[in-house]
Chains A and B, each alone.
Chain A
Amino acid sequence: MSVFLKSTKRMQRSDRVYVAVSLLILLIAAVVMLFPLYFMVITSLDRPVEAASANQTLIPRYVTLESYKFFFQFSDHSLRWILNSAIVALCVTAGNVLVAGLAGYAFAKISFRGSRILFWMFLITMMIPYQVIQIPLYMLIINTFKLRDTYAALILPGLCTAYNIFLMKQFTTTLPTEILESAKIDGCSQPQIFTRIVAPLSKTVLSVMAITTFMDSWNNFLWPTLVITKDEMKTIQLGLTSFRFQNSTFFAPMMAGACIAALPMFILFFALQKYFLEGVTIGAVKG
């Protein structure tokens, strides 16, 4: 932190100027980056009438929640969309935490034949771009299993990602093996070791995994758009796109819809900020 302050730790005038200038630059950057979100919120508070681009302003002229109402009334299933997203995201998150948690722990701390090969198998697939898997996966889910328009189609493919396994393994490796060894000698079985020792110690990593997985699932658009055709099964992202295509001139309700789609993530973020910010760094920064 004391990059610029001399070791004498006395704030000189040049340092003050420096800090002021930095703050200014940081502030400008923040304003620029938050601008689209600001625009989105401001416009969503406008009235729900047909409007062309001739009416974009930066300062709100009306404040009303009518546009939100309009968005919800647009389809019988507007609320269901949010529910669908929630169900899918929760299932995927729970699945990942459980399956990747167990697998990561096993790879890290349990020695069994073939664990190295299996782990490398997972690692390599992290490098494969999604496009390669996308099409055969589509054929599998739709043609072979005939799961179009079902929750299963949305949940199953994402139930356990290689990245999460990698994450759990990296973290669990840092846990001291002696604790586990002594537990084993005391007669604990592996499941007991996992639930009583490893899981509590991995709370941070698992929370982080849960949050990032939830966010990815909530914001996912590509896969749901392929497998969902019925209105009542759409996720909020799909519903928003539908609305946009049908009502391109009702742009206050469109922004309202966009706000609704983004709001849960914002709320989650502010509640669990620490985990979000930490989660981003795991795996990227050594130590």
Chain B
Amino acid sequence: MKKLATLLLAAIMICTLVPVQAESEHPAETLTLLVPNFETIPGTFDNMEKEFESLYPWINLDIILTSWDEYENQLNTMVNGATPPDITYPTDPTYIIQKYLSSEMLLDISSAPEEMQAEFDTAALDFYRNGDALYGFPMVVTPQMLGGNKTYMEEAGLDWRKIQQEGWTFSEFRDAAAKGVKKTGDQTDVYGFVFAFAGVTAVDILELLTRTAGMENAIDENGKYAYTDPNFLKCLQFIRGMIDDGIMPKESSSVDAGMRWNMMLTGNTMLTGKALINFENLAKNNNKLLEEAPESAAVGSKHLEYCGLPVPYLEGCEYHSFGTVNGYIAFRQVEEPTPEHIQNVILAIHYLVSNKYFTIQTVNGLQTPVNSVARSYMPEALETLNVEFDPDNRAFNELTSAAIYKPNLSVTAEQSEKVSRLREEIILPQMQGMLAGEITPEAMYEKLCSAAVDMFGADGVR
């Protein structure tokens, strides 16, 4: 009897030790998702969540919404505080991936099935690779460009259609912008070109220009640091020259993102940057307000016919536009990730880049998703499009999206840390000084070269 009881007891104990997970195929899991609020159509996120819930009920998505400006800080705090989001939507994947390579917190999802990976345009998917690892999936290509006021350009005798199709060199750009400047006495009423330089966006323009000046990646195919190239100096001189000529405002260093668009609306500038595809939307909306409810339109704004324009390229270089490939990347937590966890993450990310609701948004933003499943929703999405878009701009958008540069996939963690350091400690502060007219472009270039040689060694730089 006693023996039987002991056996029974042992059996019961063993049974309770067997993981209960064997019962349900999928243990419940919560994934945190850090996303800047890119919802343009109200209800998109809610609809997406509901559909996700029905497809994958064992995964709970905890969505943390933030603003575009605070996104980087927030992600930084979370990753370095060892509590990163499981999935996030970076503003620039190459930059984010390279930034966090050394923290070892990125999650490799290259174990995703072949068919899934084949759904994506290879060029776009490459943006999420580094070495052998795949850190996420892309959703849509967002090229960055400049914007222009059609009316002003036509007044100045500039053929904007031609520029859209063929592009313009640095000097052509400068001449064109100069034609747009209108003054009364000493006061400039209309500037030729305005770019957002305030605070940390000071180096944004360099990102655009280096791509079209032969320095596509900070670390080029030969593993060398590219910004010591003399073309970099030409870019700096180009910027400074325009301020000196009065084409760009001398208070440029204080022009922030909001102001650069506002000045377009009020007709204070002919060209603006950087511009996004949906600026056309914004212009049309404001025009509508001006007609229907003028008090709600932006103060002092005028009717704006908008056209997208390419970034000028340096003579002798091939045109490659700069853009981001928006999508999602995955992070790991401090605990070693289990295969189920990785599987869940893959499923979640795949859903996020290919679902109907986001596709509708993408299409309404005049873009094309890079995932074939998402593209299958496009006809339906196109029907919801209720704004008339300019065919020239549409053609131009497609042209620019196809000409995105190729990222360098073999950058090491050490290299990317050095690139960041140079960017934050030399390029950014020096740029601020140069914009304020206190440092010459030549001095800034010298400083960058010597700092780069210090960091990478004499043969580590171009």
Contact = CB atoms under 8 A, between A and B. Distances in A.
A138 B78 CA distance: 12
A248 B257 contact: yes
Contacts of B257: 248
Interface in B45-78: 64-70, 74, 77-78
Interface in B118-136: none
B67 A229 contact: no
A195 interface: no
B83 A49 contact: no
B259 A52 contact: yes
Contacts of B65: 231
B265 interface: yes
A230 B299 CA distance: 33
Interface in B224-266: 256-259, 261-263, 265-266
A246 B68 contact: yes
A53 B296 CA distance: 17
Contacts of A47: 295
Chain A: interface residue count, which band? 20 to 34
Interface in A173-230: 226, 229-230
Nearest to A226: B77
Contacts of B258: 50, 247-249
Contacts of A242: 67, 70
A188 B262 CA distance: 72
Contact of B262 (A50, A138, A230): A50
A55 interface: yes
A54 B300 contact: yes
B297 interface: yes
Nearest to B64: A230
Interface string A27-40: 00000000000000
Interface in A217-275: 226, 229-231, 242, 245-249
Given A50-B265, A242-B70, A246-B69, A229 B298 contact: no
Contact of B266 (A52, A143, A226): A52
Among B258, B263, B300: residue with most chain A CB under 10 A: B258
Contacts of A230: 64
Interface in B269-316: 295-301
A148 interface: yes
A55 B77 contact: no
Nearest to A46: B299
Contacts of A247: 258
Contact of A143 (B67, B81, B298, B301): B81
Nearest to B296: A49
Contact of B295 (A49, A53, A54, A226): A49
A23 interface: no
Contacts of A138: 81
Contacts of B77: 226, 229
A47 B266 CA distance: 17
A229 B74 contact: yes
A68 B36 CA distance: 24
Nearest to B81: A142
Interface residues of B, number: 29
B9 interface: no
Contacts of B83: 142-143, 146, 148
A146 B256 CA distance: 36
A248 B299 contact: no
A52 B69 contact: no
B82 interface: yes
A207 B256 CA distance: 45
Contacts of A248: 256-259
Contacts of B301: 50
Interface string B70-95: 10001001100111000000000000
A246 B67 contact: yes
Nearest to B295: A47
A245 B262 contact: no
A50 B77 CA distance: 31
B300 A245 contact: no
A50 B259 CA distance: 10
Given A49-B295, A52-B262, A52-B299, A229 B78 contact: yes
A226 B67 CA distance: 16
A259 to B, nearest CB: 20
A65 to B, nearest CB: 15
A135 to B, nearest CB: 11
Nearest to B334: A143
A146 B333 CA distance: 13
A126 interface: no
A53 B299 CA distance: 10
B299 A49 contact: yes
A245 B70 contact: yes
A51 interface: yes
Contacts of B256: 248
Interface of A: 47, 49-55, 138, 142-143, 146, 148, 226, 229-231, 242, 245-249
Given A49-B296, A231-B64, 12 more contacts: A47-B295, A51-B299, A52-B299, A54-B299, A148-B81, A229-B74, A230-B64, A231-B66, A246-B67, A248-B257, A248-B259, A249-B262
Interface of B: 64-70, 74, 77-78, 81-83, 256-259, 261-263, 265-266, 295-301
22 contacts: A49-B297, A50-B265, A50-B299, A50-B301, A51-B299, A52-B263, A52-B266, A54-B266, A54-B300, A142-B82, A142-B83, A146-B83, A148-B81, A148-B83, A226-B77, A229-B66, A229-B77, A231-B65, A242-B70, A245-B67, A245-B69, A249-B259
